Amino acid sequence: MAEHGAASTHGFQGKIIAVVNQKGGVGKTTTAINLAACLALRHLPMLLVDCDPQANTTGGLGFSRDGSRRSIYDVLTGTIGAQEAVVVTEVPGLSLLPGSKNLIGSNVELVAQDRREYRLQDALSELRSRYAFVVLDCPPALDLLTLNALVAADTLLVPMQAEYFALEGIAELMETLDRVSQAFNPRLALEGVLLTMWDERMNLSQQVARDLGEFFGAKLLRTRIPRNIRLAEAPSHGVPVALYDPRSRGAEAYGELAEEILLRNGMSPRAKRKS
């Protein structure tokens, strides 16, 4: 990863973090939006890429999800370059490569194309050095879109709820990580596992957190995201929680996550912008 920094024309590392879990409703989109926003508010140029046909990241930042706007779909099918689809958001320093409902067809359409697993990696190769981090929000499936994200990524950030069956899904995801890195992307690594919708009062949560700590060691992130209604409300206002309610527990938790990620990447936490 160091070589991206050294070779980049804009001087940024352009580290690509895919937010992935094949389960739906575990907090991928909430994490992708709010982590990217919190890093942008700490003066880092950020790109968020919405790889999910449900396009909740796009909608949650106040953009339409219909097929009429330029989106990652047009980029993956090779109609336009990635730069042509990027839009700026209300958060200073945060850009978005929008998703769209058109992506539903991509799994089928991409199969016939050459370098079908590398389309996203190819599309981001020019762009990434303009950003400190590129965050990919993945669909809730291990499909060709997610495979493109895993092949493009440097690391995976895995949000999960502390519930019993979550552990089974994680084992499957880790096998996929191994297979993908062997076949397509040897440098792929785990950024961390993030507990979301955390409720410390539940005994089961504590037990699952202990098990995860044993399994993942230091890769289990210290930050836990609590269940907080503000996180669920913010998308309907088209902004991340840091703009919707900066004093909420949800906003504070994603701020802590941003700082933990910076520390783990050898970058010192930066002062937040006044917003």
Ligand X SMILES: Nc1ncnc2c1ncn2[C@@H]1O[C@H](COP(=O)(O)OP(=O)(O)O)[C@@H](O)[C@H]1O
Judged by CB under 5 A, the residue of 23, 28, 130, 224 near Mg ion is 28
Judged by CB under 6 A, the residue of 11, 25, 78, 81 near ligand X is 25
From the list 129, 108, 4, the residue with the least C-alpha distance to 53 is 108
Least distance to ligand X, CB of residue 84, Å: 26
Cα–Cα dist 64/18, whole Å? 23
Least distance to Mg ion, CB of residue 268, Å: 31
| Contacts with 171 (C-beta within 8 Å, 6 or more apart), sequence order | none
The burial class, CB within 10 Å (0-12 / 13-18 / 19+), for 173 is buried
Give the side-chain half-sphere CA count within 13 A for 119: 26
Residue 232, contacted partner among Mg ion, ligand X, none, CB below 5-8 A by kind: ligand X
Return the residues of window 122-161 that contact ligand X according to CB under 6 A: 140
Least distance to ligand X, CB of residue 208, Å: 16
By beta-carbon proximity to ligand X, the closer residue of 192 and 250 is: 250
Q: How many CB atoms lie within 10 A of CB 74?
A: 18
**Chain center to CA of 226:** 18
**Chain center to CA of 7:** 24
Return the residues of window 191-250 that contact ligand X according to CB under 6 A: 196-197, 225, 227-228, 231-232, 250
Stretch that binds Mg ion, among 7-15, 49-57, 60-68, 126-134 (CB under 5 A): 49-57
Stretch that binds ligand X, among 25-33, 40-48, 149-157, 267-275 (CB under 6 A): 25-33
From the list 181, 179, 131, the residue with the least C-alpha distance to 155 is 181
Report whether 253 contacts 263 (CB < 8 A). Answer: no
Per-residue binder mask for Mg ion (CB under 5 A), 55-94, x = binder: -x--------------------------------------
Least distance to ligand X, CB of residue 91, Å: 17
Residue number of the CB closest to Mg ion reads: 29
Helix (H) or strand (E) holding 69: none
By beta-carbon proximity to Mg ion, the closer residue of 20 and 258 is: 20
Residue 71, contacted partner among Mg ion, ligand X, none, CB below 5-8 A by kind: none
Q: What is the DSSP string of 212-272?
A: HHHHHGGGEEEEEEEP-HHHHHGGGGTS-HHHH-TTSHHHHHHHHHHHHHHHHTT----PP
Least distance to ligand X, CB of residue 131, Å: 21
Judged by CB under 6 A, the residue of 16, 18, 26, 160 near ligand X is 26
Stretch that binds Mg ion, among 53-61, 77-85, 126-134, 216-224 (CB under 5 A): 53-61
**The dihedral sign for the CA sequence 236, 239, 242, 246:** negative
* Residue 29 binds to Mg ion (criterion: CB under 5 A): yes
From the list 138, 266, 253, 273, the residue with the least C-alpha distance to 196 is 253
Which residues of the chain form contacts with ligand X (CB under 6 A)? 24-30, 56, 140, 196-197, 225, 227-228, 231-232, 250
Which residues of the chain form contacts with Mg ion (CB under 5 A)? 28-29, 56
